[in-house]
Amino acid sequence: MSSDETPNVPTPRNSREVVREKAQQVHAQQSRVRIVRRIIIGVVAIVAVGAIGTAVTMAVTSTISEPTMSPSGMKSDGIVVHDIPDAVSESVPVTPSPEAPEEMAEPEPTTATTAVDVHIYVDYLSPGAGEFERANARQLSGWIDEDAVTVTYHPVSMLTASSNGTKYSLRSAAAAACVATHSPENFYAFNHELLIDQPEVDSNGRTDVELADLAVAVGVDEPKVVRSCIEGADFVSWAKEATARALAGPLAGSDDLVLTSAPMVVVNGEAYVGSLKDPAEFSQFVLTVASDTDAAASPSPTPTPTEASVETPAETETPAPEDTPAG
């Protein structure tokens, strides 16, 4: 080999071809990466759209297949109280009328032949609802025992926004529905405790656990079932809808009344607008409404003709026979 021979190195032309080839390889590789990326993005998008569609379908199907749970044993979204335990009614002292002495006898509610229909719409956060319960629990108990009145309580949630976001008004109404459904004989005791021992407006109110504890404390049947119902918020949607129905009206037993406040007391279709703390005034209202209802229900007697109003032909006097003179 001669000394002037040079190593076998690429010529400038060959070098450019190598670079070009590498560039083509890199370009081809990048193109493949872009294609793969686009494919992956497309697949992910398809999967995402499918997942969203499935979620929407499941949500719609769930809404259609799972209607709002409704409490049982109710009439027009209310719970009829058939009996008030003596221990409950006697624990509340009679509130005397401001104008009447304490020894004044309680007036009888009515002498009507049919029971008076009393509907009481209560919000368990409303101070007025507690005042009415404390003032009238004992006389309502007596009237129920005598079958003089039919009392129906309607839990509503007018003050849901007045408990620092905990929605106590709504949750307590739903809790009352749980007790009415699973332990109806203990509904009044639970209702009574919620009304006479209320949390302050604009406070958090009781938790669901505390509401369940109260239900167990009043002696509900199947306490585990009642607790599950309350803590699981089974009837919260019903409480919302029941309140909306009352606001739209007409209220049970009336033609055109709508819920305007809680408490709202309706007797034979007429709203009570007197003092919530005066049992004598409420009793007088019940008596008046019952009397008016009886008067309206009794048909007016049909007038019967009197003898004087009947025209009869005058009697013709028959002249006495003349004496025949003796012959």
Q: How many whole angstroms from its chain centre is CA 281?
A: 28
The model carries a pTM of 0.68
Cβ count near 180 (within 10 Å): 25
Q: Please tell me whether residue 225 adopts helix, strand or coil conformation.
A: helix
What is the per-residue pLDDT for 115?
80
Note the pLDDT tens digit of each residue in 223-232. Answer: 999 999 999 9
Q: How far is it, in rounded angstroms, from Cα 274 to Cα 287? A: 14
Q: How far is it, in rounded angstroms, from Cα 132 to Cα 273? A: 12
In 3D space, the residue among 143, 78, 69, 74 whose CA is nearest the CA of residue 106 turns out to be 143
What is the Cβ-side half-sphere exposure of residue 205, based on CA atoms within 13 angstroms? Answer: 27
Q: Annotate 143-177 with DSSP letters as a single string.
A: HHHTT-EEEEEEE--S-TTSSTTS-HHHHHHHHHH
User: What percentage of the chain reaches a pLDDT higher than 90?
Assistant: 56
Note the pLDDT tens digit of each residue in 171-192. Answer: 999 999 999 999 999 999 999 9
Residues whose CB is less than 8 angstroms from the CB of residue 180 and which lie 6 or more positions away in sequence, other chains included: 71, 73, 74, 79, 187
What is the Cβ-side half-sphere exposure of residue 255, based on CA atoms within 13 angstroms? Answer: 0
Question: Quick one: average pLDDT of 139-153?
Answer: 94
Q: What is the DSSP letter of 270?
A: E
Q: How far is it, in rounded angstroms, from Cα 62 to Cα 97? A: 54
Question: Both tokens of residue 101?
Answer: 């002495």
Band of pLDDT at residue 241, cut at 50, 70 and 90: very high
What is the per-residue pLDDT for 143?
94
Note the pLDDT tens digit of each residue in 56-98. Answer: 444 434 333 345 688 988 889 999 998 777 666 566 655 554 4
Note the pLDDT tens digit of each residue in 246-296. Answer: 999 999 989 999 999 999 999 999 999 999 999 999 999 999 999 988 777
Dihedrals φ, ψ of 175, to 5°? -65, -40
What is the per-residue pLDDT for 135?
97
Note the pLDDT tens digit of each residue in 296-315. Answer: 766 544 443 444 333 444 44
In whole angstroms, how large is the CA radius of gyration of the chain?
Answer: 42
